[in-house]
Amino acid sequence: MKKKGLSMLLVLMVLMAVVSACGSSGSSSSSDKETNQAPAVKSEGNSDTAEPKASGEEVTLTYAMWDSNQAKGLQTIVDEFEKENPGIKVKIEVTGWSDYWTMLEAGATGGSLPDVFWMHSNEIYRYASNDMLLDLSDRIKNSQKVEMDKFPTGLTQIYNFEGKQYAIPKDFDTIGLWYNKTMFDEAKLAYPNENWTWDDLYKAAKALTKNGKYGILTPFHNQEGYYNFVYQNDGTIITADKKSGYDDPNTIEALKYYINFIREGLSPEVYGDSERAEAMQNGLAAMGFFGSWNLSGFTANEYMAKNFDVAPLPKGKKQATIFNGLGNAIAHNTKHPEEAWKFVEYLSSKEGQFRQAELGIAISAYDGAAEQWVSSNTTFHVKAFVDMVKYAVIRPYSNTTAVWEDKAYEALKPAFTGQQTVEEAAKNAAKIMNESLATEK
């Protein structure tokens, strides 16, 4: 009897355990991979979560985002918006980057998307092509406040699907060359400037590498790493007709230059995201590449604030930096489309965009607002990020970016560890990426 009971129990446990693996892994992965991010889900602002009544007295919108660094500043904007628009409340909900998309997908599948939320170039296709987002085209046309031509075309284009505008750019980000002033001073080298070339970078890296310190950090990272160099060398990651650019000779040449820093021992081999920041914050490497979104984290870091500054990326055959921008989108099935639009309209208006820049939340995409942002940070010469916009290249994307980006990572890995030549790895990456792109709709 006892034995039978035990075996029954075990069978049930097997079933339960296996299936709960499917069920829970989505949600149990709650904590973010990036160390410096806030708790996975954090809601700020109004304690007033009461559902709006049919009377139309008060409407509560949810505004979902993934960057806790921006949430505080945006709360200020929300507060101001609420003051001007009595009857509309906005509740900010922050979820870490990787869980954000799991959350959003579950919301889209179950019909419970947040009213207003951030969109990204990697994901826009899926949401737009499946009608998950509210088409904003007509509303933009009729709006007095939103002028699409005040935003960089590349950015508005990301969120335009089959002629319909599904999101409005909120901000943009570029990649800068961060350098350790103290280490440069010790080596009696001049600081990097906007006229630097690849040769200058190489020479400085060489001069700075000594006593167990590295001159530069060339991490295994695309957007904050080799993508920039590929475009500086006239190479490409994805061509206009959706083919991989990894077998382009210029791309390979750029990768060789980039990986050579590791081979010559001028850069440590770094793979993880948090390890990259660590290497800078511990004075292990004198130069590194980081996006403008790291700014608040770096400003808060005592060592970085004291020793570091930022310059534009060096010039290869031409100047280039990867830039990208997220957009504000509205759910297709929001209960309050008018109120949600009012909020997005405000965020995208000249007033809202300048306010965002002034508060230092992010580099506002609106024409001229970026200068406001520059003066919000006095710790570093952040103007470099804005100066680079004129030659910035949109982060390469297609309909299934998340898939082929990872495939390319896997294929390029042996080149970074030195198990394969750069040429072989890059050609392999091109092959795998093309296979993946071929299955794209």
Partner 1 sequence: MTNARANRISKSMLNEWYWGWFLVAPTIVGLIILNIIPIGQTLYMSFFKSGDFGKGNLFVGFDNYRKLLSDDQVWHAVKNTLLYAVMVVPTSIVIALIAAVLMNGKLRGKSLYRTIYFIPMIAAPAAVTMVWRWLYNTKFGLINYGLSKLGLGPVDWTTDPNVALVSIAIIGIWSVVGYNMVLLLAGLQEIPRDYYEASEIDGAGKLRQFVVVTVPLLSPALFFVLVTSIIQAMQVFDVIYMMIDIQNPAYDNTVSLVYLFYNNSFKYSNKGYGSAIVMLLLAIIMIITVIQMRAQKKWVKYM
Residue whose C-alpha is closest to residue 325's, from 392, 384, 272: 392
With left for phi above 0 and alpha for psi between -120 and 50, is residue 360 left, alpha or beta?
Answer: left
Minimum Å gap between C-beta 376 and partner 1 is 31
Nearer to partner 1, 30 or 85 (CB): 30
Answer yes or no whether residue 21 interacts with partner 1 by CB under 8 A. yes
d(CA 416, CA 418): 5
The contact pattern for partner 1, residues 78-107, with x = CB under 8 A and - = no contact, is: --------------------x--xx--x--
Q: What does the block give as tokens for 9?
A: 């129990």
Evaluate whether 159 touches 169 at the Cβ level (below 8 Å): yes
Q: What does the block give as tokens for 435?
A: 């296979």
* Cβ-based neighbour number of residue 414 at 10 Å: 15
d(CA 334, CA 238): 35
Minimum Å gap between C-beta 353 and partner 1 is 31
Helix (H, G, I), strand (E, B) or coil at 366: coil
Answer yes or no whether residue 191 interacts with partner 1 by CB under 8 A. no
Evaluate whether 74 touches 170 at the Cβ level (below 8 Å): no
Residue whose C-alpha is closest to residue 190's, from 176, 204, 209: 204
d(CA 375, CA 133): 35
Q: Which residue has the tokens 């900010």?
A: 92
Nearer to partner 1, 108 or 437 (CB): 108
Site for partner 1 in 387-406 (CB under 8 A): 400, 402-403, 406
Answer yes or no whether residue 416 interacts with partner 1 by CB under 8 A. yes
Answer yes or no whether residue 227 interacts with partner 1 by CB under 8 A. no
Give the residue, chosen from 26, 56, 265, 368, that forms a contact with partner 1 under the rule CB under 8 A: 26
Site for partner 1 in 121-180 (CB under 8 A): 126, 129-130, 132
The contact pattern for partner 1, residues 236-275, with x = CB under 8 A and - = no contact, is: --------------------------------xx-xxxxx
Answer yes or no whether residue 30 interacts with partner 1 by CB under 8 A. yes
Minimum Å gap between C-beta 13 and partner 1 is 6
Answer yes or no whether residue 438 interacts with partner 1 by CB under 8 A. no
How buried is 124 (Cβ within 10 angstroms: 0-12 exposed, 13-18 middle, 19+ buried)?
buried
Instruction: Catalog residues that contact partner 1 under the rule CB under 8 A.
Output: 2-3, 6-7, 10-23, 25-26, 28-31, 33, 35, 98, 101-102, 105, 108-109, 126, 129-130, 132, 220-221, 268-269, 271-275, 278-279, 282, 284, 400, 402-403, 406, 409-410, 413, 416-417
